[in-house]
Amino acid sequence: MTRVLVPLAQGCEELEAVTIIDLLRRADIEVVAAGLDDGPVTASRGVRILPDMPLEEALELDYDMVALPGGLPGSDHLAADERLTSLLKSMNESGRFVGAVCAAPKVLARSGILDGKQATAYPGVLQAEQHPDISGKAVTRDGCVITSRSAGTVMDFALAIIEALQGQESRDRVESSLARN
């Protein structure tokens, strides 16, 4: 079964975190929501999220992808976590998928993962990282790197992840189930 790690940092964007987790689970992808520290995560707007496990425990598993929700200061906490940046570099070097939305693409930029890659992020985030290859699209995929612009594009981001990991048919199935009344 396909497994995706969604790291959750204090101050993450709750809409992005929950949407990624929800849509991937609808696609029957095993999602591990892991807190950078023990206990509940308080997201950027005060919503409390209970991770499946702490990151330290989650790092004992193998993943097909790591998908980073954005938000501030959540993205800054992700970028400062050496365990996570080490995992992201390893995933990228082994040709496995990494993804980030909103402010989180700066984590990929700081790790060198976006070097020579097209990417998108919340306006100003990648410019601040001096990343020249900004697409401006809602979702950008360059090889095994998938980035997305904001909370407003996170459903498209999650669907792009499903397509990358399981194909168009799986994406279409999940997407069509969201349109039903």
Which tens digits make up the pLDDT trace of 102-136? Answer: 999 999 999 999 999 999 999 999 888 888 888 88
Domain presence at residue 72: yes
Q: Cβ of 37: how many Cβ atoms within 10 Å? A: 15
For the cut 90, the answer to whether the pLDDT of residue 100 exceeds it is yes
Instruction: Supply the pLDDT for residue 128.
Output: 81
- Annotated catalytic residue: which of 102, 146, 158, 162? 102
Domain presence at residue 102: yes
Burial 123-137 (b: 16+ CB within 10 A, else e): eebbeebebeebbee
- Domain carrying residue 98: 3-172
Counted domains in the chain: 1
* β-strands 3-8, 30-35 pairing: parallel
Q: Is the pTM of this model over 0.95?
A: yes
Instruction: Supply the pLDDT for residue 180.
Output: 60
Instruction: Supply the pLDDT for residue 129.
Output: 82
Domain presence at residue 180: no
For the cut 60, the answer to whether the pLDDT of residue 181 exceeds it is no
pLDDT digits (tens, 9 = 90+) for 1-33: 999 999 999 999 999 999 999 999 999 999 999
Quick check: is 102 catalytic? yes
Confidence of residue 42 (pLDDT cuts 50, 70, 90): very high
The Cα–Cα gap between 23 and 50 comes to 17
Domain presence at residue 70: yes
Mean pLDDT of 159-165: 98
Residue 60 CB partners (closer than 8 Å, separation 6+): none
pLDDT digits (tens, 9 = 90+) for 47-89: 999 999 999 999 999 999 999 999 999 999 999 999 999 999 9
Domain presence at residue 53: yes
Domain presence at residue 135: yes
Domain presence at residue 134: yes
Domain presence at residue 18: yes
Q: Are 57 and 34 in contact (CB under 8 A)?
A: yes
Q: What CATH number does residue 25 fall under?
A: 3.40.50.880
